Amino acid sequence: MASANVNEMATKVQAGNFCLGECFADIRCVHGHRTRLFNIGRDHYVACDECRTYISVGSNLMSGWRQENLDMWDANWESIRGYREVR
C-alpha cells in the first residue's frame, strides 16, 4: 500500500510544464503535448516543441549516445535554440 502512494506522488512531481515520472522515460508535458527524448553528447534531454521548453534528465543513462556523432548533437542543439530550459 505504501508503495502505491510513493508511485502516485512520483507521477505528480512537476518542473515547469513537465510532469516527472518515475524515470526519465516517464516525463511528459502537463498540457498533453508530445515530447521527445534526445542526446547532446552523453547528456539526455526531453523537449516539448509546442511549449518550446526542454529539461535535462541525466547523463550517460543510455548507451545510445555513443553511436551518435557531433553532427547529430549539433542538430539536436539547434532544435532547441530559443527554447526555455526548465530546471
**pLDDT at residue 26 in the model:** 86
Give the integer Cα–Cα distance in Å for 7 and 44: 23
Task: Break the chain into its structural domains and give their ranges.
Answer: 2-86
For every residue of 31-69, DSSP letters joined together read T----EEEEETTEEEEEETTTTEEEEEEESSSGGGGG--
Considering the entire predicted model, what is its pTM?
Answer: 0.82
pLDDT in tens, 18-55: 998 887 778 999 999 999 999 999 999 999 999 999 99
